[in-house]
Amino acid sequence: MIEIEHIKKSFDGKEVLHDISGRFEAGRTNLIIGASGTGKTVLLKCIVGLIAPDEGNVFYDGRDFTHADRDLKTEIRREIGMLFQGGALFDSKNVQENIMFPLNILTDMTVDEKLDRVNFCLQRVGLENVNQKMPSEISGGMKKRVGIARAIVNNSQYLFCDEPNSGLDPQTAILIDNLIQEITKEYGITTIVVTHDMNSVMEIGEYVMFMHQGYKVWEGSSENISQAEAKELQDFIFANKLMRMMKSS
């Protein structure tokens, strides 16, 4: 479980996160949603420690990450897997080397053990026979899957996904969403997904935190999101024609 308390962050005097608190339980897909530029990715980066918050605390299963010393921070980070928006696969390494990378650095496994684990993870994300391909040779959807495989290869306890289905067609986007949810349930990990895609919200949103202009406006589940009263959330949900049609029907 990850808890955040009173997170604040400013850039050049402009506050982009205003006192955000929340609790992300293990074994369910937690979504942070909102329009572009609303501070979702900044919040995610504060949680994983890529950006230091100005105020507030982040707790990983009760361990204070924000004020942890270097050793504890490293220990916690080695339990984290993250899928970046663009995949962030290492260009100079092929798919197999990319997925094997955390094992090479963080474990003492033998080459055969590592290879077995890589193939298992590739199979888990629905990819086979792509081990020797370079990142430039695979599609956007495949990159995301390889990114997920890399994120889970080291038995991560915490999975973070930044816009996992951006730039993907609707069918592939749903496949990626479902894959994230399956992995979360299967391994009982704490998953936080940052997205602005309402399809994702409806598909896998077990806990949803809605942000608007740096504020947490609403939290709840996808089942009761459409009944939420916050105007900003209503505007966000029913921004597209399909959702408006569904609402009116």
Partner 1 sequence: MFLGSLFVNRESFRTYVKLIIDESILVGVGSIFIVVIVSTFMGAVTAVQTAYNLVSPLIQDYIIGTLVRDMTVQELAPTVIAIVFAGKVGSSISSGLGTMRITEQIDALEVMGINSVSYLVLPKVIAAVLMYPLLVILAMFLSIYGGYLAGTLTNIITEQEYIYGIRLDFNPFTIKFAMIKSVVFAFLISSISAYKGFFTKGGALEVGIASTSAVTNSCIAILLADYLLAQLLL
Sites of contact with partner 1 (CB under 8 A): 45, 48-50, 70, 73-78, 80, 82, 84-86, 88-91, 101-102, 104-106, 160
DSSP string covering 192-224: EEEE--HHHHHHH-SEEEEEETTEEEEEE-GGG
Whether 196 and 33 have beta carbons less than 8 Å apart is answered as: yes
Give whichever of 84 and 238 is closer to partner 1, judged by the CB atom.
Answer: 84
Whether 80 and 152 have beta carbons less than 8 Å apart is answered as: no
CB of 11 to partner 1, least distance (A): 12
Give whichever of 98 and 222 is closer to partner 1, judged by the CB atom.
Answer: 98
Identify which of 112, 109, 132 has the alpha carbon closest to the alpha carbon of residue 122: 132
CB of 191 to partner 1, least distance (A): 14
Give whichever of 135 and 214 is closer to partner 1, judged by the CB atom.
Answer: 135
Give whichever of 18 and 73 is closer to partner 1, judged by the CB atom.
Answer: 73
CB of 229 to partner 1, least distance (A): 36
CB of 89 to partner 1, least distance (A): 8
Angle made by CA atoms 87, 170, 214, in degrees to the nearest 5: 65
CB of 32 to partner 1, least distance (A): 17
- With tokens 């572009």, the residue in question is 36
Give whichever of 104 and 221 is closer to partner 1, judged by the CB atom.
Answer: 104
Distance CA 49, CA 47 (A): 6
